[in-house]
Structure 1
Amino acid sequence: MNSRITLGLAGLFLIGAIIAGYWGVSLSRQPAPEPVVQVTDTPPVIATQASMPADDLTRHPVVVLVNNVAAFVPITAADVTVEKLRTVPAGSLTRLDQVIGRTPWRALSAGTWLNDASFEAGSQLSRMIRIDERALAVAVDEVINVGGQLTPGDYVDVLLFLRKDTLNLQPSSQLVIPALRVLGVGEQMGLTNDGQPSSPTANQDEKLKQDQKRAAARTVLLAVPEQLVSRLMLAAQVGVLRLAVRSADEQRLARYWAGERVSATTLANANRELLQFSQLAMTAPPPKSAPVSNGNAPRKPSVEVIRGNEITQQTP
């Protein structure tokens, strides 16, 4: 009995083994699945050589300093590089051989683009005026400085107030010089005559500090025609000055950059409109002469009366 059960179980295992083997062979013969190709709508980007030159054509080489260069120190190859800019500053140098070995007359900071004026003698202030102008500093306070709102490039009228004293019998005021260009306010300077900033571009924090210093400035630099320098000096000594800002709609700064100069007629009109006060002329007023009497008429005795700086002859 046990042998029969054993034979039956062996037969069942044999049949199961045959079925499992057949099943395994069948699964191994199925074809492998084909890989799925993902299709996108974006075409592949192919770099062409035609696009690169088109981009380079819009940029031009400019020589720029990468290191600070002290005055009277020759520039070396390590101090400069060539950058390609879309907007090229006027007069800028384009090759390294144009600057290597040259000696600047003033200190140049890193990031400055170079031109021939970078190697010319003279301070930044001297390159902000023309040959017929003089830069003159005027002492100011918050009132004279128009509440600290003056900016380099503004145009101002210089007004003079004269108090009453022994030489000036009544208070008076007048326009001393009209339309003077502001070169600088305190430490903040404007552009030089080649269009280059006289000081390096500052970041936001430094710009805020410059604005604060400008508001508290105690000196203003003015570009004065050579013929009117003495007048402004005398006016600053004998009275109180005020600076009146002119409107930007007059386009005076634009006309200056276009090359317009102060004409002789304008200077003559300014001289003609100046009221002559004894303080401004630095001389005492002439005494009034006594009236000429007729030789035949009897001469009456007169009394000399002095009122301040005025001398008169009165007959009792």
Structure 2
Amino acid sequence: MNSRVTLGLAGLLLVGALIAGYWGLTLSRQPVAEAVAAPAVTPPAPVAQAPVPQEDTTRQPVVVLVNDIAPFVQITAADVTLEKLRTAPPGSLTRLDQAIGRTPWRALAAGTWLNDESFEAGSKLARMIRPNERALAVAVDDVINAGGQLTPGDYVDVLLFLRMDTNNLESSAQLVIPALRVLGVGEQLGLTNDGQPASPARSNEEKIRQEQMRASARSVLLAVPEQLLSRLMLAAQSGVLRLAVRSADEQRLSRYWAGDSDSAASLANANRELLQFSQLAMTTPAKPVVTSKAPASRKPGVEVIRGNQITQQTP
């Protein structure tokens, strides 16, 4: 009886062991099966799109040089570029095809914006004067050059000192021409008519060199009205010149010789200031009055009339 009970219990234990082993095996395989059956899908991250650049309508294209251009050298596509400027210079070129293939008459530096005047003939000095002006150089020293302080863009009065000699009975000092614009001092030039520097300094060293040469200059370029050229030439050869600098607070100096009416009035005022030098006043000297000889005095006598004959008889 005991052996049968023992066998029964052993069978039950065996069946329980099999069931427990199967259950454990099933539980151990279930996570793998679920992972294979239903893999976790990660949604893709949204791709950030680059913002589309919007054109700034407040800026305007301007053709600018990227290379230095020598005179009489044709401009190529590699020499120019378009830059957007908030304020475009008046008359500037706005398309590359307006500059490519054209040939300038003068040297153009890199960074220069181009316009039609960039391709016109004429030196830097010729583009600094107005149509009714002439550029004339005057020899100066430290005294005439206002102690080396003259700067392009200043306005000066040209004074003349005449010493007493056989042709000039007494010494005199007079104003020859007022309000002449200084175009350049030595090698340093001022601004052209389009407002660009005629001789820009590329570096601080070059700027210092220009200032030193300006202070020791021996010539000054003046913008002289055409009708006053001969006057200034005569003054330069007749006596000692002085250049008197005028105040920058005078607001109408740039228009002093502009316009026919203004020029005539200014010339008349200048003529009234001239002393003892009729040639500078551009007037011909007065011709001497030639007096006719007095008729010979008649001798006292008696006039005798006989018919149609008249005779003079002395008593």
1:93 to 2:96 alignment: no
Match of 2:147 in 1: 147
Q: Superposed, which structure 2 residues align to 1:115-130 within 5 Å?
A: 115-130=115-130
Match of 2:80 in 1: 80
1:182 to 2:182 alignment: yes
Q: Which letter does structure 2 place at the counterpart of 1:250?
A: E
How many Å apart are 1:191 and its aligned residue?
1.1
Q: Superposed, which structure 2 residues align to 1:218-257 within 5 Å?
A: 218-252=218-252, 255=255
Deviates more, 1:266-275 or 1:182-191: 266-275
Counterpart CA distance in 2 for 1:288 and 1:254 is 44
The answer to whether the Cα contact below 8 Å between 1:109 and 1:200 also exists between their aligned partners in 2 is: no
How many Å apart are 1:253 and its aligned residue?
5.4
Counterpart CA distance in 2 for 1:88 and 1:289 is 70
Percent identical among aligned pairs is 74
Match of 1:59 in 2: 59
What is the CA deviation profile of residues 79-121 of structure 1, one whole-angstrom value per residue up to 9, with x for unaligned ones?
1111223343222212111100011111112121111100001
Q: Which letter does structure 2 place at the counterpart of 1:178?
A: P
Q: Which letter does structure 2 place at the counterpart of 1:101?
A: G
Compared CA separation, residues 233 and 206, structure 1 to 2 (3 A): same
The answer to whether the Cα contact below 8 Å between 1:168 and 1:279 also exists between their aligned partners in 2 is: no
Counterpart CA distance in 1 for 2:206 and 2:153 is 20
Aligned-residue CA RMSD (Å)? 3.3
Q: Tell me the TM-score normalized by structure 1.
A: 0.69
Structure 2: give runs of 5+ residues left out of the alignment. 1-47, 298-315
Counterpart CA distance in 2 for 1:254 and 1:277 is 28
Match of 2:29 in 1: none
What is the CA deviation profile of residues 46-80 of structure 1, one whole-angstrom value per residue up to 9, with x for unaligned ones?
99959x547x3443222111111111111111111
Match of 2:157 in 1: 157
The answer to whether the Cα contact below 8 Å between 2:174 and 2:273 also exists between their aligned partners in 1 is: no
1:172 to 2:172 alignment: yes
SS at match of 2:265: helix
Deviates more, 1:185-194 or 1:264-273: 264-273
Counterpart CA distance in 2 for 1:115 and 1:125 is 18
Compared CA separation, residues 171 and 287, structure 1 to 2 (3 A): farther
Counterpart CA distance in 2 for 1:131 and 1:255 is 14
Counterpart CA distance in 2 for 1:284 and 1:128 is 36
Q: Which letter does structure 2 place at the counterpart of 1:198?
A: A
Match of 2:266 in 1: 266
The answer to whether the Cα contact below 8 Å between 2:67 and 2:109 also exists between their aligned partners in 1 is: yes
Q: Which letter does structure 2 place at the counterpart of 1:103?
A: T
SS at match of 1:248: coil
How many Å apart are 1:275 and its aligned residue?
1.9
How many Å apart are 1:281 and its aligned residue?
8.2
The answer to whether the Cα contact below 8 Å between 2:70 and 2:106 also exists between their aligned partners in 1 is: yes
SS at match of 2:165: coil
Match of 2:31 in 1: none
Counterpart CA distance in 1 for 2:167 and 2:286 is 8
Structure 1: give runs of 5+ residues left out of the alignment. 1-45, 297-316
Compared CA separation, residues 203 and 130, structure 1 to 2 (3 A): same
Deviates more, 1:225-234 or 1:245-254: 245-254
Counterpart CA distance in 1 for 2:168 and 2:286 is 10
Compared CA separation, residues 284 and 204, structure 1 to 2 (3 A): same
Counterpart CA distance in 1 for 2:208 and 2:72 is 32
Q: Which letter does structure 2 place at the counterpart of 1:268?
A: A
Counterpart CA distance in 1 for 2:64 and 2:87 is 14
Counterpart CA distance in 1 for 2:168 and 2:289 is 16
Q: Which letter does structure 1 place at the counterpart of 2:240?
A: V
The answer to whether the Cα contact below 8 Å between 1:167 and 1:278 also exists between their aligned partners in 2 is: no
Match of 2:107 in 1: 107
